[in-house]
Amino acid sequence: MPEAPPGPALVWFRRDLRLADNPALAAAAASGRPVVALFVLDDGESRRPLGGASRWWLDKSLRALAADLSRIGGRLILRRGEAMVQLLSLAQEIGAGLVTWNRLYEPALVERDTALKAELKSAGIEARSFNAGLLNEPWTVKTGADQPFQVFTPYWRAARARLGEVEVLPAPGRLAAPTTWPVSEVLEDWGLHPRAPDWSIGFGIWSPGEAGALTRLNRFLSERLADYGRRRDLPGEPGTSGLSPHLHWGEIGPRQVWRQAHDHARALGVAAPVQDMDKFLAELGWREFNAQLLFHHPSLDQSNFRPPFDAFPWRDDRQGLKAWTRGLTGYPMVDAGLRELWTTGFMHNRVRMIVASFLIKHLLIDWRAGEAWFWDTLVDADLASNAANWQWTAGCGADAAPFFRIFNPITQGQKFDPAGAYVRRWVPELSRLPDSVLHEPWTADAAILRAAGVTLGVTYPRPIVDHAMARARALGALQSLKTAN
């Protein structure tokens, strides 16, 4: 047998916490070298640290990855500190001959990773990076004028045209172990799981890790894909995939989702729900559209994509923001969404649009305040998607919904939660109200409120703002912006 090349292969895990379709891991395994897997918790990696819900998910996902690696002869080494320093230190410690990782696309991380690759090469260590997180990397899909797309529909048309038969790498069957394992930090010492109080009791609906991601995808394809186009907008029904946190942490990759969805459709033949599948896969496209927006516009999470909005007259309404975060606005559909978020770390996508519109347009609170709350409380908090979607709602982003499109939280509830299943679940103090007044309880007469056990202003708040007044105020603010510009 040929002699194995000198020096172990060091695999740097980041947001690719899986074994299958992981090209960095596959390349290390195929090198014939002993494989050392590393995860670094770098609290200073981004402009802000991970939110609480993300830290909860990461804790569980790392446990799952460690167990999966152990089953194929590997071990997950944990280090905390500046990622570049920790990785270079470990590479030197183990005498690594190869370092592999899968690329991230936030501009600051691209710059850091480029510098890291140069450092490794100058030390005589081979460094290889791969794409594991996107169908198309941000620089590959351009307009005819060689510019980044700013509108989703033509972007997705061009992106899909680039995709042939999508291939998925299998998980390695076995990893070669080094003679001696390097020391690892202890996950419990990182304090990722909340303590005193543990606010994550409702997060038990999730199963972080690669196995949980695959189970969720399979269940969605077999049980929910058909009629997805209709049911995805109904928060009271289990109509969506719930894959977003698994995709964010890379417990499953978009190539796997794409390939498995197409394999599922082929197995069904003419019975395949083609339109529903197209709508579902377009959600992958929207995720990638957002990723390329951040890549080309590094301040997307901080600054308006459309500079004229820099002069927008936002209000400093701390009481309104507090009522919104607590789900105590007096608008049941809005409150249901914020309470679902706090309890489960998730919010239905249709409701995300409703609550974001309410904060921005009913309260005239800067979109960045809502984006920061979502960053801390969502298990699928993603820098690109979070910022791009908030800017989309505010009308200041790419492919934005116009600012004058102001969701009426009453009619939105009546349209998308007509039987009140969603509101009754998350706002139980209103559960005995009839459907006719559930989304606007202040219109119910005293007898109906009394029979339902509702006392407005006591058991459930009155609306913190009148819809008609708020709409007129928001349109006035928009007009003042146009006048200023």
The CATH number that applies at residue 138 is 1.25.40.80
Same domain for 464 and 343? yes
Please confirm, yes or no, whether 389 is among the known catalytic residues. Answer: no
Distance CA 168, CA 260 (A): 10
Same domain for 228 and 256? yes
- Domain boundary among the residues 256, 277, 296 is at 296
- Give the 3-state DSSP-derived string for the chain, with helices as H, strands as E and coil as C: CCCCCCCCEEEEECCCCCCCCCHHHHHHHHCCCCEEEEEEECCCCCCCCCCHHHHHHHHHHHHHHHHHHHHCCCCEEEEECCHHHHHHHHHHHHCCCEEEEECCCCHHHHHHHHHHHHHHHHCCCEEEEECCCCCCCCCCCCCCCCCCCCCHHHHHHHHHHCCCCCCCCCCCCCCCCCCCCCCCCCHHHHCCCCCCCCCCHHHHHCCCCHHHHHHHHHHHHHHCCCCHHHHCCCCCCCCCCCCHHHHHCCCCCHHHHHHHHHHHHHHHHHHCCHHHHHHHHHHHHHHHHHHHHHHHCCCCCCCCCCHHHHHCCCCCCHHHHHHHHHCCCCCHHHHHHHHHHHHHCCCCHHHHHHHHHHHHHHCCCCHHHHHHHHHHHCCCCCHHHHHHHHHHHHCCCCCCCCCCCCCCHHHHHHHHCCCCHHHHHHCHHHCCCCHHHHCCHHHCCHHHHHHHCCCECCCECCCCCCHHHHHHHHHHHHHHHHHHC
Same domain for 91 and 22? yes
Instruction: Catalytic residue, from 190, 199, 314, 442: name it.
Output: 314
Instruction: Catalytic residue, from 367, 373, 392, 426: name it.
Output: 367
The pLDDT score that the predictor gives to residue 401 is 75
> Is 4 part of any domain?
no
Same domain for 448 and 326? yes
Instruction: Catalytic residue, from 12, 342, 375, 390: name it.
Output: 390
Instruction: Catalytic residue, from 286, 342, 373, 426: name it.
Output: 286
Please confirm, yes or no, whether 304 is among the known catalytic residues. Answer: no
Same domain for 128 and 21? yes
The pLDDT score that the predictor gives to residue 2 is 45
> Is 176 part of any domain?
no
Same domain for 285 and 424? no
Distance CA 272, CA 225 (A): 9
Please confirm, yes or no, whether 286 is among the known catalytic residues. Answer: yes
> Is 181 part of any domain?
no
Report in angstroms the alpha-carbon separations of 397 from 17, 145, 151, 299, 392. 31, 21, 10, 12, 5
CATH of the domain at 404: 1.10.579.10
> Is 376 part of any domain?
yes
Residues spanned by the domain of 425: 307-484
Count: domains in the chain: 3
DSSP label at 399? T
> Is 191 part of any domain?
no
CB 208 within 8 A of CB 38: no
pTM for the predicted model, two decimal places = 0.96
The pLDDT score that the predictor gives to residue 254 is 98
Same domain for 148 and 88? no
**Each residue's pLDDT tens digit, 399-422:** 877 878 899 999 999 999 999 999
Same domain for 473 and 339? yes
For residues 435-456, one letter each, b for 16 or more C-beta atoms within 10 angstroms of the residue's C-beta and e for the rest, the string is eebbbbbeebeeebbeebebee
Low pLDDT (below 50) residues in the chain: 1-2, 4
Instruction: Catalytic residue, from 45, 237, 251, 283: name it.
Output: 283
Same domain for 89 and 74? yes
The H or E element spanning position 130 is: strand 126-130
Instruction: Catalytic residue, from 131, 349, 429, 442: name it.
Output: 349
Please confirm, yes or no, whether 386 is among the known catalytic residues. Answer: no
Distance CA 435, CA 443 (A): 12
Please confirm, yes or no, whether 442 is among the known catalytic residues. Answer: no
In sequence order, what E strands does 131-270 have? Answer: none
CATH of the domain at 58: 3.40.50.620
The pLDDT score that the predictor gives to residue 1 is 38
Please confirm, yes or no, whether 314 is among the known catalytic residues. Answer: yes
For residues 92-105, one letter each, b for 16 or more C-beta atoms within 10 angstroms of the residue's C-beta and e for the rest, the string is eebebbbbbbbbbb
- Domain boundary among the residues 296, 325, 342 is at 296
Same domain for 142 and 288? yes
- Domain boundary among the residues 271, 296, 321 is at 296
> Is 200 part of any domain?
no
Same domain for 139 and 122? no
The pLDDT score that the predictor gives to residue 377 is 98
Same domain for 104 and 137? no
> Is 302 part of any domain?
no
> Is 257 part of any domain?
yes
